[in-house]
Structure 1
Amino acid sequence: MAAKPVLEIAPEKVAHVIIKAREFGAKVGAWDASPEDGDADEDPSAILEDFSNDPTAAEIAGFVDALNDDEQAHLVALAWVGRGTYEAEEFDEAVETARNEQNNATASYLLGLPLLADYLEEGLEKLGYSANDIESDVL
């Protein structure tokens, strides 16, 4: 078996993004006009509404934006491997492509991937990391 590629992002950071992306992915279209109309005290299911000022999206974006360029490139490459754009053996190529295409919108790009959490988890697994173990360490 080939050696695991070296990640320049801590697997625990990836797990944090996975956990937050799952929270964000559970959101549904807003059924009220504004967050104020969807008062969770009156309607607990209102916390699942997806508003443009969603704090979960802002938290993910802030976290990703705080990562250095190498960490961001590795996070994007993991998503690509998980999505099947690259094979695990092509991880270095995926990282190089992510670096070459990197811009200031990495968080927006990642948040635009509808299955981000699944892609990152699958990417970790394909590279030989146990996503479940890493996630349980974070939780």
Structure 2
Amino acid sequence: MLEIDVNKVGFIIAKAREFETKEVGMGEDSGVAHTEEDIQDEEFQENLIAHGDEDSDDSTYEELKSWIEAFNDEDQCQVVALTWIGRGDFTADDWDEALRIATEEHNDRTAEYLLGMPLLPDYLEEGLSLFNLTYDE
């Protein structure tokens, strides 16, 4: 069963949403105009995801990355397993299997792996929901 403090997961969800908002905030809100051609260009999208807009502050990303890196290995593996369950790779009944695989595949790039998922906060919320858990917002 999930042992990580759900409020730690809630913090990841909140910060990941904040980071998504900064990255996706193209056009009027961000003050940066991108053309349709830019948005359809795969290299442009990869660069935007990797670095965000030049005018945007990536401190949220760095804060969240540092925070996840500070988790012990067990908590990192639980977040990965919960993400996989929320994404539908496993069911809540498969928790032990998801956690076992997350533990086997654990490495020092867990934060980057998680933050590279565009729907990370949605996956985590869904994962918590499947366990009937909520967090303080």
TM-score, scaled relative to structure 2 = 0.76
Runs of 4+ in structure 1 deviating by more than 6 angstroms, as ranges, are none
Task: Quote how far apart the aligned CAs of 1:29 are.
Answer: 6.4
SS at match of 2:136: helix
**Match for residue 121 of structure 1?**
125
SS at match of 1:45: coil
Q: Aligned to 2:20, which of 7, 20, 25?
A: 25
Cα distance in 2 between the residues matched to 1:100 and 1:30: 37
**Structure 2 residue runs without a partner (length 5+):** 32-47
Number of equivalent positions: 116
**Match for residue 107 of structure 2?**
103
Q: Aligned to 2:62, which of 40, 58, 65?
A: 58
Amino acid at match of 2:116: G
Task: Quote how far apart the aligned CAs of 1:128 are.
Answer: 1.5
Aligned residues of 2:86 and 2:122 also touching (Cα < 8 A): yes
Q: Could you give the per-residue CA deviations for residues 57-96 of structure 1, whole angstroms, max 9, x where no partner exists?
A: 1011000000000000000001000000000000111011
TM-score, scaled relative to structure 1 = 0.75
The structure with the largest helix share of the pair is 2
Q: Aligned to 1:45, which of 22, 30, 38?
A: 30
**Structure 1 residue runs without a partner (length 5+):** 32-42
